[in-house]
């Protein structure tokens, strides 16, 4: 089981010294990877009236700071040596596909192949609007985007004609040394699960408590329909840096039961801890899981 820790935005602030210290401490603590989610633009809370965001309070407001993942990981790669970096998740359909391919390739090359690209379709209509992207077609576009990304990372010259992309003999040199792994997050509905089974190297259920045996059976059925072995799909579970030893072990065993290959420890979201306190707690949880479960 690979163990990761989340970068606590928007709680960490903007001091580059603190951000550097967080990355270096996470690496020294033995974490396999550092993950972060993103929002490019926030909005006024009135933009979310009557919108089911899935959160008790409107998130991603205009005054909540979020560091852009590719820039953040490029900075962190320069101050660390071996910890991996995971977007968990990048809202892919609100971004230009070729630009994402270029930015991700650069981070992968300059970090020594330490990037894993976790993608999702997002929920924030105001953010899509601000970026000039179509919110209504995001689910359909993401599947084609993944095809285009993989071609751009593996072929020096790409010609592609799809519903949302038209590429005529273009490339993004330099290419990454190897294809960048693409993991997918999102809801637990049939369309999302089927899309993940067909396209993704791994699955990011985002630590959702409602993942259960029935959902895993459904995912395995979709994988088999796509001609894949269930073991070919990476799965990242999640633990929050709160609670007690028994809670951590119970959560980890539950994810292990569901075939998780990775476990991400979240340091924010109401834990009441500062960024570095959250990392210290996450390191404690990691030690417990290593000692008790052999991760």
Q: Tell me: the pLDDT tens digits for 105-127?
A: 999 999 999 999 999 999 999 99
What's this model's pTM, rounded to 2 decimal places?
Answer: 0.95
Inter-residue long-range contacts of 13-19, CB under 8 Å, 24+ positions, other chains counted: 13/65, 13/275, 14/65, 14/67, 16/75, 18/275, 18/276, 19/67, 19/72, 19/75, 19/76
pLDDT above 90 as % of the chain: 84
Range of the domain at 49: 2-6+15-23+33-232
In a domain, 228, yes or no: yes
- Is position 207 within any domain? yes
Overall number of domains in the chain: 1
Can you give the pLDDT at residue 165?
98
Tell me, what's the pLDDT at 270? 62
Q: Is 71 part of a structural domain of the chain?
A: yes
Is 177 among the domain residues?
Answer: yes
Whichever domain contains 130, its CATH number is 3.20.20.30
- Residues in the chain with pLDDT values less than 50: none
Asked whether residue 253 is assigned to any structural domain, the reply reads: no
Residue 60's pLDDT is 81
Concatenated DSSP letters of the chain? -EEEEE--TTTS-S-HHHHHHHHHHHHHTT-SEEEE---S--B-GGGGTT---SSSS--SBTTS----HHHHHHHHHTT-SS-EEEEEEEEGGGS-HHHHHHHHHHHHHHHTS-EEEEEE--S-HHHHHHTT--STTHHHHHHHHHHHHHHHHH-SSEEEE-SS-EEEEE--SSPPSSPPPEEEE---SHHHHHHHHHH-SEEE-TT-TT--HHHHHHHHHHHHHTT--GGGSEEEEEEES-S-HHHHHHHHHHHHHTT-SEEEEE--SS----HHHHHHHHHHHHHHHHHHH--
On whether residue 130 sits in a domain, the answer given is yes
In a domain, 295, yes or no: no
Q: Give the pLDDT of residue 250.
A: 94
């Amino acid at each position: 089981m690979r163990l990761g820790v989340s970068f606590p935005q928007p709680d960490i602030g903007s001091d580059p010294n603190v951000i550097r210290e967080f990355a270096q401490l996470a690496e020294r603590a033995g974490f396999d990877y550092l993950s972060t989610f993103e929002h490019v633009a926030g909005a006024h809370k009135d933009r979310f009236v009557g919108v089911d965001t899935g959160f008790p309070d409107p998130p991603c407001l205009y005054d909540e700071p979020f560091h852009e993942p590719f820039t953040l990981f490029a900075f962190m790669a320069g101050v660390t040596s071996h910890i991996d970096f995971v977007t968990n998740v990048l809202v892919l359909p609100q971004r230009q596909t070729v630009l994402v391919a270029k930015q991700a390739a650069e981070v992968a090359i300059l970090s020594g192949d330490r990037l894993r690209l976790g993608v999702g379709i997002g929920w924030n209509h105001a953010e899509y609007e601000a970026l000039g992207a179509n919110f209504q077609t995001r689910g359909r576009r993401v599947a084609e985007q993944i095809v285009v990304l993989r071609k751009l990372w593996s072929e020096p010259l790409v010609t592609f004609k799809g519903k949302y992309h038209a590429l005529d003999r273009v490339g993004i040199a330099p290419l990454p040394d190897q294809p960048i792994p693409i993991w997918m997050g999102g809801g637990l509905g049939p369309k999302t699960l089927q899309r993940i089974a067909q396209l993704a190297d791994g699955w990011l259920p985002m630590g959702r408590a409602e993942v259960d045996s029935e959902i895993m059976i459904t995912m395995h059925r979709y994988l088999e329909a796509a001609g894949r072995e269930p073991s070919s799909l990476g799965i990242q579970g999640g633990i929050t840096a709160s609670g007690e030893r028994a809670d951590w072990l119970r959560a980890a065993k539950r994810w292990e039961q569901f075939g998780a290959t990775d476990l991400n420890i979240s340091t924010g979201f109401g834990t009441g801890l500062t960024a570095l306190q959250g990392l210290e707690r996450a390191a404690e949880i990691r030690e417990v899981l290593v000692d008790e479960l052999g991760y």
